[in-house]
Protein backbone atom coordinates (compact mmCIF):
# COMPACT_ATOMS: atom_id res chain seq x y z
CA UNK A 1 0.00 0.00 0.00
CA UNK A 2 1.41 3.31 -1.08
CA UNK A 3 1.95 5.97 1.55
CA UNK A 4 0.73 9.54 1.19
CA UNK A 5 2.82 12.69 1.36
CA UNK A 6 1.89 15.51 3.72
CA UNK A 7 1.00 17.72 0.79
CA UNK A 8 -1.46 15.16 -0.53
CA UNK A 9 -2.95 14.72 2.92
CA UNK A 10 -3.38 18.48 3.09
CA UNK A 11 -5.11 18.54 -0.27
CA UNK A 12 -7.36 15.64 0.63
CA UNK A 13 -8.37 16.91 4.06
CA UNK A 14 -8.35 20.62 3.39
CA UNK A 15 -5.98 21.14 6.31
CA UNK A 16 -2.90 23.33 6.02
CA UNK A 17 0.39 21.47 5.89
CA UNK A 18 1.50 23.44 8.94
CA UNK A 19 -1.60 22.33 10.83
CA UNK A 20 -0.91 18.68 10.06
CA UNK A 21 2.64 19.03 11.31
CA UNK A 22 1.30 20.73 14.40
CA UNK A 23 -1.15 17.88 14.96
CA UNK A 24 1.76 15.49 14.79
CA UNK A 25 3.61 17.36 17.52
CA UNK A 26 0.39 17.25 19.53
CA UNK A 27 0.24 13.49 19.09
CA UNK A 28 -2.91 13.36 16.97
CA UNK A 29 -1.20 11.50 14.10
CA UNK A 30 2.00 9.49 13.94
CA UNK A 31 3.09 9.25 10.34
CA UNK A 32 6.04 7.06 9.46
CA UNK A 33 9.18 8.51 7.92
CA UNK A 34 10.96 7.78 4.69
CA UNK A 35 14.71 7.20 4.57
CA UNK A 36 15.17 10.89 3.86
CA UNK A 37 12.94 11.98 6.73
CA UNK A 38 9.72 12.75 4.88
CA UNK A 39 6.42 11.97 6.55
CA UNK A 40 4.59 8.96 5.18
CA UNK A 41 0.88 8.89 5.96
CA UNK A 42 -1.52 6.01 5.60
CA UNK A 43 -5.00 6.16 4.19
CA UNK A 44 -6.45 5.74 7.67
CA UNK A 45 -4.66 8.90 8.76
CA UNK A 46 -6.92 10.88 6.48
CA UNK A 47 -9.92 9.55 8.32
CA UNK A 48 -8.15 10.25 11.56
CA UNK A 49 -7.50 13.86 10.60
CA UNK A 50 -11.05 14.25 9.38
CA UNK A 51 -12.20 13.09 12.76
CA UNK A 52 -9.95 15.72 14.32
CA UNK A 53 -11.48 18.42 12.14
CA UNK A 54 -15.01 17.39 12.97
CA UNK A 55 -14.30 17.12 16.67
CA UNK A 56 -12.76 20.58 16.60
CA UNK A 57 -15.88 21.92 14.96
CA UNK A 58 -17.90 20.29 17.70
CA UNK A 59 -15.91 22.34 20.18
CA UNK A 60 -13.49 19.77 21.55
CA UNK A 61 -9.95 20.73 22.46
CA UNK A 62 -6.92 18.99 21.04
CA UNK A 63 -6.27 17.40 24.41
CA UNK A 64 -9.76 15.94 24.43
CA UNK A 65 -9.45 14.72 20.88
CA UNK A 66 -6.09 13.15 21.63
CA UNK A 67 -7.64 11.36 24.59
CA UNK A 68 -10.44 10.08 22.37
CA UNK A 69 -8.05 8.93 19.65
CA UNK A 70 -5.96 7.17 22.27
CA UNK A 71 -8.81 4.70 22.72
CA UNK A 72 -8.38 3.49 19.15
CA UNK A 73 -6.56 0.17 18.77
CA UNK A 74 -2.83 0.48 18.75
CA UNK A 75 -1.51 -2.12 16.39
CA UNK A 76 -4.13 -2.32 13.68
CA UNK A 77 -5.94 0.09 11.42
CA UNK A 78 -9.16 1.22 13.11
CA UNK A 79 -12.30 -0.39 11.80
CA UNK A 80 -15.63 1.22 11.08
CA UNK A 81 -16.79 -0.14 14.42
CA UNK A 82 -13.94 1.68 16.18
CA UNK A 83 -14.91 4.96 14.58
CA UNK A 84 -18.53 4.36 15.47
CA UNK A 85 -17.60 3.94 19.11
CA UNK A 86 -15.66 7.21 19.08
CA UNK A 87 -18.46 9.03 17.33
CA UNK A 88 -20.96 7.77 19.85
CA UNK A 89 -18.82 8.99 22.72
CA UNK A 90 -18.60 12.41 21.13
CA UNK A 91 -22.30 12.38 20.50
CA UNK A 92 -22.87 11.84 24.22
CA UNK A 93 -20.49 14.65 25.16
CA UNK A 94 -22.20 16.88 22.66
CA UNK A 95 -25.60 16.06 24.15
CA UNK A 96 -24.33 17.00 27.58
CA UNK A 97 -22.96 20.23 26.21
CA UNK A 98 -26.20 21.13 24.50
CA UNK A 99 -28.13 20.35 27.67
CA UNK A 100 -25.81 22.60 29.63
CA UNK A 101 -26.32 25.46 27.23
CA UNK A 102 -30.07 24.91 27.24
CA UNK A 103 -30.05 24.97 31.03
CA UNK A 104 -28.13 28.22 31.04
CA UNK A 105 -30.55 29.61 28.50
CA UNK A 106 -33.46 28.76 30.75
CA UNK A 107 -31.73 30.41 33.67
CA UNK A 108 -31.19 33.44 31.49
CA UNK A 109 -34.92 33.46 30.80
CA UNK A 110 -35.51 33.66 34.51
CA UNK A 111 -33.03 36.48 34.82
CA UNK A 112 -34.54 38.49 32.00
CA UNK A 113 -37.67 38.80 34.08
CA UNK A 114 -36.08 39.36 37.45
CA UNK A 115 -33.37 41.79 36.40
CA UNK A 116 -31.26 40.24 39.11
CA UNK A 117 -27.95 40.12 37.28
CA UNK A 118 -25.22 40.79 39.81
CA UNK A 119 -27.28 39.86 42.82
CA UNK A 120 -26.13 37.12 45.11
CA UNK A 121 -29.43 35.39 44.56
CA UNK A 122 -29.07 35.26 40.80
CA UNK A 123 -29.48 31.66 39.72
CA UNK A 124 -27.61 32.19 36.47
CA UNK A 125 -24.73 33.98 38.09
CA UNK A 126 -24.45 31.35 40.77
CA UNK A 127 -25.27 28.12 38.98
CA UNK A 128 -22.18 26.25 39.94
CA UNK A 129 -22.03 23.94 36.94
CA UNK A 130 -19.65 25.85 34.73
CA UNK A 131 -21.65 24.40 31.93
CA UNK A 132 -20.80 26.59 29.02
CA UNK A 133 -17.26 27.71 29.61
CA UNK A 134 -16.49 27.31 25.96
CA UNK A 135 -14.02 30.17 25.86
CA UNK A 136 -10.42 29.85 25.02
CA UNK A 137 -7.82 28.38 27.28
CA UNK A 138 -8.47 24.95 28.73
CA UNK A 139 -12.18 24.43 28.27
CA UNK A 140 -13.38 22.18 31.04
CA UNK A 141 -16.62 21.26 29.47
CA UNK A 142 -19.30 19.95 31.70
CA UNK A 143 -16.82 18.20 33.87
CA UNK A 144 -15.11 16.20 31.14
CA UNK A 145 -11.68 17.70 31.70
CA UNK A 146 -8.78 16.84 29.49
CA UNK A 147 -6.05 15.01 31.35
CA UNK A 148 -4.51 17.29 34.05
Under the rule (CB under 8 A), what is the footprint of a second copy? 13, 46-47, 49-51, 53-54, 56-59, 61, 80, 83-84, 87-88, 90-91, 94-95, 97-98, 101-102, 104-105, 108-109, 111-113, 115, 117-118, 122, 124-125, 130-137, 139
Q: Exposed (0-12), middle (13-18) or buried (19+): which is 148, by Cβ within 10 Å?
A: exposed
Q: Where are the alpha helices (DSSP H) in 1-148?
A: 6-13, 17-25, 43-57, 62-69, 80-114, 123-126
> Can you give the binding site for DNA, defined by CB under 7 A?
5-8, 10, 16-19, 21-23, 34-39, 56, 61-63, 135-138, 146
Shortest Cβ 37–a second copy spacing (Å): 26
Q: Around Cβ 131, how many Cβ atoms within 10 Å?
A: 19
Q: What gap in Å lies between CA 40 and CA 95, rounded to an integer?
A: 36
Q: What gap in Å lies between CA 68 and CA 90, rounded to an integer?
A: 9
Shortest Cβ 101–DNA spacing (Å): 17
Shortest Cβ 147–a second copy spacing (Å): 18
Q: Compare residues 5 and 87 and give the one whose CB is closer to a second copy.
A: 87
Amino acid sequence: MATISIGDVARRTGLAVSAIRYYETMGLVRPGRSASGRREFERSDIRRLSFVMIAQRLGFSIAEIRAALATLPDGRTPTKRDWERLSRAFRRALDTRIEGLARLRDLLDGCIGCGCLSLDQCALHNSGDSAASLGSGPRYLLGDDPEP
